[in-house]
Amino acid sequence: MDRLDELAIFVAVIDGGSLAVAARRLRRSPPAVSRALAALEDRAGARLVERTTRRLSPTEAGRVLAERARLLLADYDRMLSGIAGTPLRGLLRVTAPVQFGRRHVAPVVTSFLDAFSEIQVELVLNDRNLDLIEEGLDIAIRIGPLSDSALLVRRVGEVRRVVVASPDYVARLGAPQRPADLARHDSIFNSLRSGAQEWRFGPTARGPVVRLSPRLLVNDVESQLLAARAGRGIARFLSYQVADDLAAGSLMRLLAEFEPPPLPVQLVARSGPHMPAKVRAFLDHAAAAFQELAVIRPSAVK
In the chain, what are the domain boundaries?
A: 3-81, 90-156+263-296, 161-258
The whole-number pLDDT of residue 286 equals 93
- Give 132's DSSP letter: T
Q: Comparing 3-81 with 90-156+263-296, is the CATH topology the same?
A: no
Q: Considering only CA atoms, which of 261, 265, 239 is closest in space to residue 154?
A: 265
- As assigned by CATH, the class of the 3-81 domain is mainly alpha
Please name the helix (run of DSSP H) or strand (run of DSSP E) that holds residue 68, with its range, or none: helix 60-81
- Give 240's DSSP letter: H
Average pLDDT for residues 201-218, to the nearest whole number? Answer: 85
Q: What is the mean pLDDT of the chain?
A: 88
- Give 176's DSSP letter: -
pLDDT in tens, 245-290: 999 999 999 999 999 989 999 999 987 656 788 998 999 999 989 9
Count the residues in the chain.
302
The whole-number pLDDT of residue 1 equals 58
Domain at 90-156+263-296: CATH code: 3.40.190.10
Sign of the four-CA dihedral 178, 181, 182, 183: positive
* Domain 161-258, second-level architecture: 3-Layer(aba) Sandwich (3.40)
